[in-house]
Each structure stands twice: as structure tokens, then as C-alpha cells.
Amino acid sequence: MTRSRLPLAATLFLLAGTAFAAPPPALPALEVTTLDGARFVLAEHRGQWVVVNFWATWCAPCIKEIPDLGEFDRGRDDVRVIGLAFEEIEPEALQAFLARHPASYPIALVDVYDPPADFEVPRGLPTTWLIAPDGTVAERFLGPVTGAQLARAIEARKQ
């Protein structure tokens, strides 16, 4: 019996693509247009902690994070939160969703086929990056994150 080597080759190719993904640059860049038409440029927020949250409307843990991330953003002068909707959805549908689940921080819709180059493609949602005031990646969270966890990560980095 002859076995096909295609499944093994395909598996090795997929593993190689994920296992050897390049780490994010030391100072990741992010420039997006938010749903309200404003520009969010990560480099303009140096001196502050920035929370970059990849999420989707179909993701229950992502939806649960929205109020907590908003409270964290509003409660600290040294923190800015940006939400990156990572899904195929029309802007109007996303705005309708946000009317039902308001976010008090800016939201941008990013193209799943052309995501921000300096951030790894999320392997799951939510995925949250904590960017330090010097512009470096302080921490990455895969799965839900709370304001308390973010505050602990900030305090640990300050020490």
C-alpha cells in the first residue's frame, strides 16, 4: 500500500509557518483609522502604557472584556486602550454591534488578510498586547484579560 506524503508535507509546512514566526519588532508600529475616522498612531502615545486588544463580535470573552477595558482606560491617565476588531464584518455592522455593547475607547476594524505587520496574527481571541511607555512590548496575553491583570503587569514592569 502506498501512502501519500502530502498530508505530512502540508503538516510540516504549517508547523514551520507557526513555530518559526518572527518575533515582533522591539518597537512595534501601529497606525489605524478608528471607526470614528480618527487616526491612532502607537508612536504618538510614547510615555504612556498602551493596551492593544484584538477582539471580535462573535467572541464571548472579548465582549465580556469591553466594559473592564473601558474602565481601566478611563481610570488611569498613564494608559490608553485601542480595540482592533479582527474579523470580516462591515463597518456598519460593527457600529451597530458597538451601539449594543459600547466601548469607551477607540475601535478600529483591521483586515484579517492584512493585519498590522508588527503584531503576530492572533492565534486566538482575545489577544492583548501591553506596550510600555518606551514603545517596547511589555507583555502579551492570549485569552481574556482584566484591568487588574494589566495593572499587575504594569507594576511588575516598573520594578
Q: What is the mean pLDDT of each run of 10 residues along the chain (159 residues)?
A: 39 36 77 98 98 98 98 98 98 98 98 95 97 97 98 94
Query: What's the pTM?
Result: 0.85
CATH code for position 80: 3.40.30.10
Is 60 part of a structural domain of the chain? yes
Is 14 part of a structural domain of the chain? no
Is 12 part of a structural domain of the chain? no
Distinct helix (H) and strand (E) counts, the chain: 4, 7
Is 11 part of a structural domain of the chain? no
Strands 39-41 and 107-110: unpaired
The DSSP 8-state label assigned to residue 22 in this structure reads: P
Is 3 part of a structural domain of the chain? no
pLDDT, one tens digit per residue, over 12-39 is 333 334 344 556 677 999 999 999 999 9
Q: How high is the pLDDT of residue 23?
A: 61
Domain count of the fold of the chain: 1
Is 106 part of a structural domain of the chain? yes
Is 16 part of a structural domain of the chain? no
Cell 469591553 maps to which residue? 66
Q: Which domain holds residue 151?
A: 30-158
Is 153 part of a structural domain of the chain? yes
